[in-house]
Chain A
Amino acid sequence: MRSKIIPLLVVATFATTALTSCAGATTSSALDPSADVTKQTLVVSNWAGYYPEGLAADFEAATGIKITIVNHATNEEIMGKLTTGADSGIDVAFVSGQYAQALNEAGLLQPMEKSMIPNEKNLYTEATTLSYDMGNNYSIPYAWGTTGLCYRSDLMPTAPTSWNDLLNPAPELVGKTTMLSTERWMALPALKAMGMSVNSTNPDDLAKVKTQLLTTKKTLLAFDDTTFYSKLISGESVMAEAWDGWCNYGIAEDPNIKFVVPSEGSDLWVDTMTVLKSSQNKEAAMAFVNYILEAKTQAWVAENILYKVPNEAAMKLVDPAVLASYPNLTMTPAELLKQETVIDLGEFSPQYTKLATEVMAG
């Protein structure tokens, strides 16, 4: 019996991938602006705690479209699920910009139907020319920010200004700093400190980064993507490489925590909304994207999630008291755009994963 199954499965293996690769071509259908969206049901996957609690109910009340919002924890997870070739059942997925780029390259995304998203006008003009998707053809920005140093001003002798303060720390800081463990952000401080691009695809650059990071590793408390701000609050660490929004969670608990973008510059990351080509509810999906872009929805995100939103109308609504408590929320689009936008590096991407492995295992 088994002898018959195995050849069958080999054939099946080919079939699956063949299906995966042409999935885009077969299921794409034009949008019908006159479709009755109230007959459609949406499934949206977003990061947990990254949207207003009553979003589903409010959206349903406003549009009559039934919606289920589900959560994912990381980009990697949702990408894994979206790219296996199976119908994920998801209509709208929130992913970071470079992941949207990769999804689009894989033929999995539906182009944005701009006639159905009039609220796009609320976006800053700077947010329409982002290099991973010029003109927001298949992704619409939801939140954005940068990476910097999050530190305890009361426990540091002097405020950090440079990535080198983290990479080659003063003796009293040894064992009290953390770095991000996701490959692109692990490489970022060293790349920027040496004047290289965060999107560098030069193997020599990466070799230099590796040497630097292997030295830095000896001085680190840990590589940490998730609880670095808790370590700052408890005083276990005094300085962390951190995303601005997450540093704000630390500031919320302890005002001694401060955020700074090092002088050598940093990155611009963008979290976006994408509509899957496999969706059967594309018109409703566009209506959802449009709804999110309303000023009050995104103002809520800025005030409660403490992330900057690329929505000019929304940022104007944010309570000035919140802005005063979390100074990095006031970074202007122009300041953000000075940073380098992270893009997917295609076939070079595995080199970064390998670099991260070399550093962590070294």
Chain B
Amino acid sequence: MLLVFVLAPLVLILGYSFFQRGRFGGVVFNFSFDNFARLIDPLYVNVIMTSVGMGLVVTILALALGYPTALAIVRLSPKWRTIALVAVLLPFWTNFLVRTYAWILLLNNAGWINQALQGMGVIHEPLTMLYTPQAVAIGLLYMYLPLMILPLYSSLASQDAQLVEAATNLGASPWRVFRTVTFPMSIPGVLTGCVFVFVPAMSNFVIPELLGGGKTVLIGNLIRDQFLKARDWPFGAALALVLTLLLIALLVAQQRASKRLTDGPEERKVSSRA
């Protein structure tokens, strides 16, 4: 039953990718690979490359900010852990458009950040921050940071505290404990978090529009435009299929890597040392 609700919509939509758009929208059942041929257009290849690049930047930033945060949360007392965790998510209980508009107010030329910086005399001319790819990256990072922190927390919290203690007692420096015990054991969480951030960052279409001023196009915008604007479902489905294949490949790679790294020699070395 569950498989039906998960797989059926997927199969339905992906089936469309082999058909054609009707004159005024809708789907005409002419089997063809035309939609995939259209994908090879440098325009779409370019957009896909931009999306992958943006996805990577956002994922790296999220990991750089999220990992130390998750680690700090795990090291809080159990009472504070839950509070800290909820505090990560609370901002997301306000509507996402509301939050995005708040960024517009912060980033624009006469915005709060520019005014603060000018007030402090740090800068004299306003910095152009809004309607740039950087603004899109900030917006996406803001949107998806919790998707990095939660899996990291889940995976770090499951670590045996005794292991860290033992390593420390045996004289290992904190950095060494982190490098040889904590980090290797958190790799499943790191990989899950990375996939959770990378993929949605590419398929978001509102942030590129509002914070990028429509000057940055990601694969999410393309898919939305095909489904809703051009009413070209078959081509939209073909685009989505590419994204889905990319996604499945990533997930399989993630599972493999996580398995190899946790079952691999690294851990055995660690546990024998501990």
Q: From the candidates A6, A217, A344, name the one contacting B215 in the complex (CB within 8 A).
A: A217
Whether A234 sits at the interface, judged by CB under 8 Å, is yes
- A106 adjacent to B4 (CB under 8 Å): no
Known: A350-B235, A357-B222. A17 touches B29 (CB 8 A): yes
Residue of A nearest to B18 (CB): A13
Whether A360 sits at the interface, judged by CB under 8 Å, is yes
Cα distance, A325 to B12, chains bound together (Å): 53
Whether B256 sits at the interface, judged by CB under 8 Å, is no
Whether A202 sits at the interface, judged by CB under 8 Å, is no
Which residues of B in the span 163-219 have a Cβ within 8 Å of any Cβ on A?
209, 213-217
Q: From the candidates A5, A101, A182, name the one contacting B3 in the complex (CB within 8 A).
A: A5
Cα distance, A6 to B24, chains bound together (Å): 30
Which residues from chain B contact A10 at a C-beta distance below 8 Å? 11, 15
- B7 adjacent to A358 (CB under 8 Å): no
- A222 adjacent to B214 (CB under 8 Å): yes
Which residues from chain A contact B110 at a C-beta distance below 8 Å? 234-236
CB B54 to nearest CB in A, in angstroms, measures: 12
Known: A102-B25, A344-B24. A360 touches B11 (CB 8 A): no
Q: From the candidates B7, B23, B46, B214, name the one contacting A105 in the complex (CB within 8 A).
A: B23
Q: From the candidates A5, A13, A346, name the one contacting B15 in the complex (CB within 8 A).
A: A13
Known: A77-B228, A350-B230. A21 touches B26 (CB 8 A): yes
- A349 adjacent to B231 (CB under 8 Å): yes
CB A190 to nearest CB in B, in angstroms, measures: 16
- B26 adjacent to A106 (CB under 8 Å): yes
Interface size on A, residues (CB 8 A): 49
Which residues from chain B contact A79 at a C-beta distance below 8 Å? 25, 228, 231
CB A172 to nearest CB in B, in angstroms, measures: 15
- B11 adjacent to A13 (CB under 8 Å): yes
CB B128 to nearest CB in A, in angstroms, measures: 8
Whether B50 sits at the interface, judged by CB under 8 Å, is yes
Which residues from chain B contact A80 at a C-beta distance below 8 Å? 227-228
Q: Hey, what's the 0/1 contact readout for A3-25 against B, CB within 8 Å counting as 1?
A: 00110011011101100110000
Known: A223-B215, A361-B43. A106 touches B22 (CB 8 A): yes
Whether A121 sits at the interface, judged by CB under 8 Å, is no
Q: From the candidates B23, B46, B209, B229, name the one contacting A183 in the complex (CB within 8 A).
A: B229
- B226 adjacent to A223 (CB under 8 Å): no
Whether A39 sits at the interface, judged by CB under 8 Å, is no
CB B24 to nearest CB in A, in angstroms, measures: 4
Whether A199 sits at the interface, judged by CB under 8 Å, is no
Whether B254 sits at the interface, judged by CB under 8 Å, is no
Whether B253 sits at the interface, judged by CB under 8 Å, is no
Which residues from chain A contact B155 at a C-beta distance below 8 Å? none
Which residues from chain B contact A182 at a C-beta distance below 8 Å? 229
- B50 adjacent to A361 (CB under 8 Å): yes
Whether B258 sits at the interface, judged by CB under 8 Å, is no
CB B238 to nearest CB in A, in angstroms, measures: 13
- B231 adjacent to A83 (CB under 8 Å): yes
Which residues from chain B contact A175 at a C-beta distance below 8 Å? 128
Query: Most chain-B Cβ atoms within 10 A of its Cβ — which of A6, A16, A105, A222?
Result: A222
Which residues from chain B contact A236 at a C-beta distance below 8 Å? 108-110
Cα distance, A80 to B128, chains bound together (Å): 36
CB B38 to nearest CB in A, in angstroms, measures: 9
Whether A114 sits at the interface, judged by CB under 8 Å, is no
- A350 adjacent to B4 (CB under 8 Å): no
Cα distance, A236 to B221, chains bound together (Å): 25
**Which residues of chain B have a CB within 8 Å of any CB of chain A?**
3-4, 7-8, 11-12, 15-16, 21-27, 29, 43, 46-47, 50, 104, 108-110, 128, 131, 209, 213-217, 221-222, 225-232, 235
* Cross-chain pairs A/B with CB under 8 angstroms, 30 sampled: A2-B3, A13-B11, A13-B12, A20-B26, A21-B26, A79-B231, A83-B26, A102-B24, A102-B25, A105-B23, A105-B24, A106-B26, A175-B128, A217-B215, A220-B213, A221-B213, A222-B131, A222-B213, A224-B214, A234-B110, A347-B21, A349-B230, A350-B226, A353-B226, A354-B43, A356-B225, A357-B43, A360-B216, A361-B50, A361-B217
**Which residues of chain A have a CB within 8 Å of any CB of chain B?**
1-2, 5-6, 9-10, 12-14, 16-17, 20-21, 76-77, 79-80, 83, 101-102, 105-106, 175, 181-183, 217, 220-224, 227, 234-236, 344, 346-347, 349-350, 352-354, 356-358, 360-361
Known: A5-B7, A356-B225. 13 other contacts (CB 8 A): A12-B12, A13-B15, A17-B29, A76-B228, A102-B24, A106-B25, A181-B214, A234-B108, A346-B23, A350-B235, A353-B225, A353-B230, A361-B43
- 7 A-B pairs with least C-beta separation: A222-B213, A223-B214, A353-B230, A105-B24, A76-B228, A361-B217, A13-B15
